[in-house]
Structure 1
Amino acid sequence: MSTYDLIVIGAGIVGAACAEQATAEGLKVAIVEPATVGGGATAAAMGHLVAMDDDPAEFALSRYSLGLWEAFAELPAAEFSRCGTLWVASNDDELARIPDKLARLTDAGVVAEAVDAAGLYELEPMLAAGLRGGLLISREAVVYPPAVARHLVDLALERGATLHRQYAFRLQPGGVVLQDGGKLHGPVLVATGCALPRLLPGLPIRARKGHLVITERYGQRVNHQLLELGYADSAHGADAASVAFNVQPRPTGQILIGSSREYDAADADVSMDMVRMMLQRSFRFLPWLRELDALRVWTGFRPVSTDGLPYLGRVPGMADTWVAAGHEGLGVTTSLGSARLLIDQLLGRPTAIDAAPYDPARVAS
């Protein structure tokens, strides 16, 4: 039996960040991941680094994480692009939301600027006519999540971590049993996303399917990450299926198109009905997207906790067992902050932000 200071199960971007942070602290780490590093929910993420302000705890974690992402600005593999975020108001009701959103952001130290209709079209001349205004957050960025996950795992391996290409068959007191019967001994961190209930059935997770479309390379036609101001209604809604306008310029000259959300989807197959709904939503804001060719359409499942906040901390009733999962669409943004929060707790140190809202004890059965 091999003994470690921490056994990280799952190498999506959250698990990878936890492993990297643990090795940076000098811990002896094992990573258990049978599939492609960053190949699950991480590969189905748009990679938007965004301060979501609809929930105070979500806002605190995303703001904390955004500061940590600055270390990746010069990493070529990350495809870090500070394109900024432009929230678009399509009607007067959405325009009326801007002052409150702007106040929340600026009160927290986020640099943001309201723009009227004329300013909106100066920033994005190719938007559809008739939009009412927007909110610009110029310092926000996008990254390529699977490459970042691989980079984080590589850093951990360079510091002496070991990668076990097996399933974690079950947890046991003091460690984990692998698929081949081998045992790893030490504190365990479960970061398996939608598969979390297999090892930790007391922590409910609901899988939410999403579709993404990426175009061929057309050069720069969009300058900012674009979202409709009603995006949060879709993101946090309870509807079985929903779509929202979310378009992102990639440094490659491609355009990444989201976003869709489906609960209770039975498989990972592409649903052309859902893709059509998503594209029609995008065409309302960018009609010329109809002229472009899609290179790829794919899906993934994002893990949603019972209350929309991730589980970050010690698992109640289980000795030396920790969890980092349930981030849904904010896993990329909050991965680095989640890892710091988790490892600080593991080491018994004060955390940079209040960890109580993410304590899995709030829902554990």
Structure 2
Amino acid sequence: MPTQQQVIIVGGGVIGLLTALNLAPHVGHVTLLDRSGLGQESSWAGGGIVSPLYPWRYSAAVTALAHWSQDFYPQLGARLFADTGIDPEVHTTGLYWLDLPDEDEALAWAQRLNRPLSKVDISAAYDGVPVLGGGYRSAVYMANVANVRNPRLVKSLKAALLGQPNVTVREHCEVRGFLRDGQAVVGVNTADGELHGDQVVLTAGAWSGDLLESLGVRLPVEPVKGQMILFKCEADFLPSMVLAKGRYAIPRRDGHILVGSTLEHEGYDKTPTVSALESLKASAVELLPALADAQPVKHWAGLRPGSPEGIPFIGALEGFDGLWLNCGHYRNGLVLAPASCQLFADLMLGREPIIDPAPYAPAGRLAGD
């Protein structure tokens, strides 16, 4: 691709931010647009575990992106900290899964793919996490699982982008449609007027499908609501992440503990609800009984970009020259972001891709194809 290309990226979550950062050194100019503030939707709302919650339940396509990203995250965090002074806090704590109904499948997956997940005696889990609730009977553990403090990751990515001389960031700039020249997409129509570019990249998360409808394209990406709560404890309260019955607790370095999350199909409504708050508090106390005496310091909801099997759409959109997709990561946007955005840059720039791009290609995967 010619180096002086003007690239417009629609959507400023972690996927859009990292896509822009990867492309900026290789193109003429990057303009990143977001309908609200950068990273304020799913990227801000998630827990930041650098692993799918149950990695053995996903397809090889998700696994390939997850493994590449997990290995890359520590150096990404270090690079962003060095460049911006904002530490995304890639915090390696390990993760205990408790009373798994499909423990045998998990262990077989780990052995098949040579991943460091293993069965441990339940006493080891209680030794590793002394505040863990009673009554658990079995545990598996993966030592190298990290979490990233996603609001800080967003801030560091934004700062890194603002330091690039050929990047323009426009927040609170809603994209309402695409500009066409025959079969080519040559820009976007925004609330502030038309903006022309050589390539347009859609990284708009849960809103990606709605934007493509203006082209008559049915992208199977829909909003899926998730609610979380946050506690503040001592810095050493929870030494490892724990997960049971679909709910998890994630420790930050300063003692904040995130507990999540719900899975709700409520359209674009992201109003936190009392019923979810009570359910999450009950899960928190079951996992960590000491939290019974703590009040959540925050409760929020976000919208995940739900997609079939959680496999993102990465690549050019057939029939619309100049339009590209990097969206539909469902529950794993933060997990998969480094690999997804590296793969995307490889495809757009004509480089050898880091992994086989075929499973993520939009062709043949859109509704009605």
- Please give the per-residue CA displacement for 1:179-220, whole angstroms capped at 9, x wherever unaligned: 222322210100011111232122122211111111123332
Q: 1:163 aligns with which of 149, 165, 169?
A: 169
Q: Secondary structure at the match of 1:256?
A: strand
Indicate whether 1:125 and 2:125 are aligned: no
Q: Which runs of 4+ in 1 moved over 4 A?
A: none
- Give the Cα separation in 2 of the matches to 1:288 and 1:349: 52
Question: Which moved further from structure 2: 15-24 or 76-85?
Answer: 76-85
**Shift in Å at residue 26 of structure 1?**
4.6
> Are residue 25 (structure 1) and residue 26 (structure 2) matched?
yes
Whole-Å separation in 2 of the counterparts to 1:162 and 1:224: 39
Deviations, residues 1-53 of structure 1 (Å, cap 9, x unaligned): xx843211111001111001111435521111242111011111101101523
Q: In 2, distance between residues paired with 1:46 and 1:337?
A: 19
| Structure-1 residue corresponding to 2:50 | 49
Contact 1:19 1:153 in 2 (8 A): no
SS in 1 for 2:318: coil
**Which stretch of the first structure deviates more once superposed, 304-313 or 329-338?**
304-313
* Alpha-carbon distance in 2 for matches of 1:354, 1:346: 14
1:206 paired residue number: 222
**Contact residue 170 and residue 177 of structure 1 kept, 8 A:** yes
Distance, in Å, in 1 between the alignment partners of 2:111 and 2:23 is: 33
Matching residue of 1:302: 304
Q: 1:17 to 1:84 in 2, by over 3 A?
A: same
Amino acid at match of 2:190: L
Runs of 5+ unmatched residues, structure 2: 180-184
Deviates more, 1:323-332 or 1:109-118: 109-118
Q: Equivalent residues in 2 for 1:211-250 (5 A)?
A: 211-228=227-244, 230=245, 244-250=246-252
> C-alpha offsets along residues 149-181 of structure 1, whole Å, 9 cap, x if unaligned?
232233233222111232222112322222222
Supply the AA of the counterpart residue of 2:18: A
SS of the residue aligned with 1:341?
helix
Compared with structure 1, are the counterparts of its residues 290 and 336 closer, same or farther at alpha carbon in structure 2 (3 Å cutoff)? same
Question: Secondary structure of 1:263's partner?
Answer: coil
Indicate the SS of the match to 1:289.
helix
| Equivalence for 2:357 | 355
1:184 aligns with 2:167: no
Q: Offset at 1:59? A: 1.1
TM-score (ref. length: structure 2): 0.87
- Return the alpha-carbon distance in structure 1 between the equivalents of residues 64 and 148 of structure 2: 20
Higher alpha-carbon deviation: 185-194 or 270-279: 270-279
| Distance in 2 separating the partners of 1:341 and 1:110 | 22
Contact 2:110 2:118 in 1 (8 A): no
Q: Is the 8 A contact 2:317 2:362 kept in 1?
A: yes
Q: Report how far residue 108 of structure 1 moved.
A: 2.5
Q: State how far apart, in whole Å, the 2-side matches of 1:145 and 1:4 are.
A: 30
Separation in structure 2 between the aligned mates of residue 22 and residue 118 of structure 1, nearest angstrom: 48
Matched ranges for 1:49-128 at <5 A:
49-51=50-52, 52-55=55-58, 56-74=60-78, 75=81, 76-89=86-99, 94=100, 97-128=102-133
1:311, 1:358 within 8 Å by CA — same for their partners in 2? Answer: yes
Aligned residues: CA RMSD:
1.9
Code of the aligned partner of 2:113: A
Aligned residues: 344
Distance 1:72 1:87 in 2: 26
Give the deviation of 1:265 after TM superposition: 4.9
How far is the alpha carbon of 1:54 from its aligned partner? 1.6
Q: CA deviation at 1:279?
A: 2.2
Q: Normalising by structure 1, report the TM-score.
A: 0.88
Q: For residue 12 of structure 1, what is the aligned residue in structure 2?
A: 13
Summarize deviations over 1:300-336 as a string: whole Å, max 9, x none: 1111013321111111221110111111210001111
- 1:239 paired residue number: none
For residues 237-265 of structure 1, what are the alpha-carbon distances to aligned partners after superposition, in whole Å with 9 as ceiling and x for unaligned? xxxxxxx3210111111111111110125
How far apart are residue 81 of structure 1 and its match?
1.0
CA drift at 1:64: 1.1
In the alignment, is the contact (CA less than 8 A) between 2:13 and 2:41 conserved in 1? Answer: yes
- Structure 1 residues 47-81: Cα deviation after superposition (integer angstroms, max 9, x where no partner): 11015232221111111111221213433520221
Q: Displacement, 1:105?
A: 2.5
